[in-house]
Structure 1
Amino acid sequence: MPVPANLRYTAEHEWVDLSGDTATVGITAYAADALGDVVYLELPAVGSVIAAGTGCGEIESTKSVSELFAPVDGEVVEFNQQAVDDPGLLNTDPFGAGWLFRVRLTGPADLLGADEYAALTGGA
């Protein structure tokens, strides 16, 4: 499975695209594959303050319900309504149209590089 080199990652299988003081967050192809068909998303609302490592939403698939963990500290400035309306985007395009939300950062991001994440997932 692809591990785009331009993104950062968490051990909880989320990707983060940093751009200035804003981070776009999604789940990796590895996570989407492990979850199976995603059927429901609960994402943090705009204006929500999130803290890295804490729960901020939920992803439900045909296999299970998984908590979504915040990968960074910040304030949610946007969420992907298209993914809420069509959660299958997480399976078909996890690094593109399946992004989850955007956060204005309030602290440094402690994230893995692509090589570190690939090693964590067995070279995925």
Structure 2
Amino acid sequence: MDVLLLATDLQASRDFYLHKVGLEIVQEKEGAVWFRCGGGSRLAVGQSTIGTADEQDQATWRVDDVAAEVAELRARGVEILDVDLPEMGIKTINGIADVGHAYAAWFVDPGKNSLSILQFK
């Protein structure tokens, strides 16, 4: 499966996913870059003049250890979001929230796409 994200600055998004998130480029051409993700899936980032209008998560990675992934992302310069949504019972502590069935953390790419990592309990 491929997930497509939009970017108004494709070069900034390319560098973000390659150097900060640590994904491998599997294909690149004018206007789009594809990155390898787990389980045979890929993340595609395409050039857009308007970017993403939605604020909800555009992609989520399932991980075995969310705390280790948060530490690695921070070490690479990714800003992990602090979330405090009392109406939903979600509040991050050190960047990680207990969402009931899993632990989650959120960050935003240069194209303003909301992304998350999730560790199932």
Higher alpha-carbon Rg: 2
Structure with the greater relative contact order (CA < 8 A, sep ≥ 6): 1 or 2? 1
* TM-score calculated relative to the size of structure 2: 0.25
Higher strand proportion (structure 1 or 2):
2
TM-score, with length taken from structure 1 = 0.25
